[in-house]
Structure 1
Amino acid sequence: MEIEVESFNLDHTQVDAPYVREAGRIETPQGDLIQKYDLRLLQPNENAVPTGAMHTLEHLLAGYMRERIDNVVDVAPMGCRTGFYLIVVGSPELDEIEEAVVDSLQEVIKTEMEDVPATTARECGNYRDHSLFGAKEYAEEVLAGFKE
């Protein structure tokens, strides 16, 4: 089966994480622009965020990124667990997205467990698989990479 998926065409051996890049855009029949960004936190094929930490980062970034960027549709984890996709209506500048990621990861470090949203069986499909400790560890690691 041959399908056209932008990320499958990315040479993952040639990227240098962490970074933010435009990863696709579509225009709806009504003329709205939907933009996808690759929020790469870790170097592909060298490291991956454990599922509990990734899950907690997903819940936290879902809110923190919406506080910083208008018209967020979704912040979705990559299956490889090296980053997230940010999908927005419109086309914010890469600098604005990177600043929002850095600010959001700084907020993750300050977060207390009672402040992680949607961690009950009613709100989350795998509510037992969270690690705020791990999310904070990876947030610190990624922030150090952005500062280099």
Structure 2
Amino acid sequence: MPLNVESFNLDHTAVAAPYVRVADVKHLPAGDVLTKYDVRFCQPNVAHLEMPALHSLEHTFAEKVRNYSDDVVDFSPMGCQTGFYLLLSGEHPYAEVLDLVEQGLREVLAAEEVPAANETQCGWAASHDLDAAKREAATMLAGRAQWDQVMAG
């Protein structure tokens, strides 16, 4: 019997990160659509993003990607620290979403500071590492050609 959380039904031993996949589509009562994407940086149970890098990726990507799409609702880290969930309003061509993720990551590479990395705007402002975030963004971008290949083999 499937579990309620979509990612708990994903065989994490059968995927091959990095990838971007549609994790869920919700059709809301008023007709709105929310689409959740699994933006996986690291191979589950093999590697993970260190918290300061993950935190800086979250801040920088979440802030900058909104310059490219008004449909971004949220960009949140996974508790397992292997990637993020990107939540968009509406349904979009998959290639368009891959381009959006690429644009957001390129913004991380170009960043000179982490947005809102201070005690007024962040709940753990001491936990940031922009250089590490840039390294992780570069690694993710280096795998761009395989983002559409979720399953190993």
TM-score, normalisation: structure 2: 0.89
Please list every run of 5 or more consecutive structure 2 residues that lacks an aligned counterpart in the other structure: 147-153
* 1:32 and 2:4 are equivalent in the alignment: no
Please list every run of 5 or more consecutive structure 1 residues that lacks an aligned counterpart in the other structure: none
With over 3 angstroms needed to count, the CA separation of the structure-2 counterparts of 1:3 and 1:10, relative to structure 1, is closer
RMSD: 1.5
Q: Secondary structure at the match of 2:12?
A: coil
1:70 positional shift: 2.9
2:135 aligns to what? 137
Identity %: 46
1:69 positional shift: 2.6
Letter in 2 for 1:40: R
* 1:48 and 2:45 are equivalent in the alignment: no
Which residue, 119, 122, 128 being the options, matches 2:126? Answer: 128
Q: CA offsets per residue over residues 15-51 of structure 1, 9 Å max, x none? A: 1111111101111111111111111111111111100
Q: CA offsets per residue over residues 41-77 of structure 1, 9 Å max, x none? A: 1111111110000000000111222122332110010
2:12 aligns to what? 12
Which of structure 1's runs of 4+ aligned residues deviate more than 6 A?
Answer: none
Between the two structures, name the one with larger relative contact order (CA 8 Å, sep ≥ 6): 2
Q: Is the 8 A contact 1:20 1:94 kept in 2?
A: no
Q: CA offsets per residue over residues 3-26 of structure 1, 9 Å max, x none? A: 511000000111111111110111
TM-score, normalisation: structure 1: 0.92
Letter in 1 for 2:142: A
In structure 1, how many angstroms separate the alpha carbons of the residues matched to 2:69 and 2:44?
26
In structure 1, how many angstroms separate the alpha carbons of the residues matched to 2:69 and 2:15?
25
Q: Is the 8 A contact 1:60 1:108 kept in 2?
A: yes
The aligned runs of 1:48-67 (5 Å cut-off) are: 48-67=48-67
Q: Secondary structure at the match of 1:123?
A: coil
Q: Is the 8 A contact 1:40 1:82 kept in 2?
A: yes
Letter in 2 for 1:118: A
Question: How many equivalent residue pairs?
Answer: 145
In structure 2, how many angstroms separate the alpha carbons of the residues matched to 1:109 and 1:61?
10
In structure 2, how many angstroms separate the alpha carbons of the residues matched to 1:59 and 1:97?
19
Letter in 1 for 2:123: G
